[in-house]
A = this chain, B = another copy of it.
């Protein structure tokens, strides 16, 4: 029997989860909830799920899980409401832009004791997952330093930034999570530099578009994160982990294996250009993992607490940038 699932949000990310849920033969995507009627109708037509109001969806006692893919500012309220109903939740990142609200999410999930999976997609990417396995299994020796390069193809609109948070909370938050996952220790110091060299309007709006972040754990492991809102050649997603025995790195995925040689040198294809192409498999794995967590065969790989921790690092980075100093991270219990 397939698990009846509700999808909240029929926007860009909602369509990705909707398509994957409807293609997963353990899921029955039963309802789509979106205040934008056209978006809901379109995704409904594509997947066969019924477009309904949130109340209608949650009134169905058979619902086995909810996928939250709506606007960021709705996440925390939805988590609290759905957790109170004891329905398993998959929530897109971030929990919220405020650590106070994020902490409330942690409390709600903890209290209700529901299965909860956070959408930190990198952890579900096959290449990143293999890298993590090498770290975990000691193949690299003691981890000494990590380099994360995470660069978007082109800057978002100012409206997007206003709704989804600044560079640290919207973009680097993925990298904070990857750092915590691979470092195997919580960073206790953060220092950040930044500028708005790609688009001055971003600077005028109070955000940055280019950043360097340094993390340090108590045992002395270092992690650098390099972010940019612009990359001339695609969606640049690389990470390398230096251990005492070996280094492992994940390189970008080329679009083809075609190579053309001539007077101009040897030209290979570009790399994947968008997050949905680059992490297509990761999104599929997220849905599968959510089902496995609901059915109890797996424990959550990305927890509600991971969402809070990444946000706390984003806060520390923002503070470091503003105060031009290294910030000691204060984690809430």
Contacts and interface: CB of A to CB of B under 8 A. Distances in A.
Copies of this chain, tallied across the complex: 4
A233 B263 contact: yes
A197 B23 CA distance: 45
A214 B216 contact: no
Interface in A6-54: 23
Contacts of A325: 324-326
A28 to B, nearest CB: 15
Given A193-B189, A193-B222, A265-B270, A127 B233 contact: no
A252 B247 CA distance: 14
Contacts of A78: none
Contacts of A234: 261
Most central of A126, A244, A324 by chain B CB within 10 Å: A324
A258 interface: yes
Interface string A101-128: 0000000000000000000000000110
Interface string A58-85: 0000000000000000000000000000
Contact of A266 (B126, B151, B262, B270): B270
Contacts of A245: 232, 262
Nearest to A200: B220
A197 B218 CA distance: 10
A248 B252 contact: no
A144 B326 contact: no
A216 B242 contact: no
B197 A232 contact: no
A251 B259 contact: yes
B268 A265 contact: yes
Report, as a range, how many residues of chain A touch the other chain: 35 or more
Most central of A245, A250, A257 by chain B CB within 10 Å: A257
Most central of A144, A245, A249, A324 by chain B CB within 10 Å: A144
Contacts of A265: 233, 267-270
Contacts of A86: none
Contacts of A197: 142, 144-145, 219-222
Contacts of A230: 144, 244
Interface of A: 23, 126-127, 130-131, 134, 139, 141-142, 144-145, 147, 149, 151, 189, 191, 193-198, 210-212, 214, 216, 219-222, 224, 226, 228, 230-234, 242-254, 256-271, 324-326
Given A147-B149, A191-B324, A268-B268, 14 more contacts: A141-B232, A145-B226, A193-B214, A194-B222, A197-B221, A232-B247, A232-B261, A232-B262, A232-B263, A233-B262, A233-B265, A252-B257, A265-B268, A265-B270
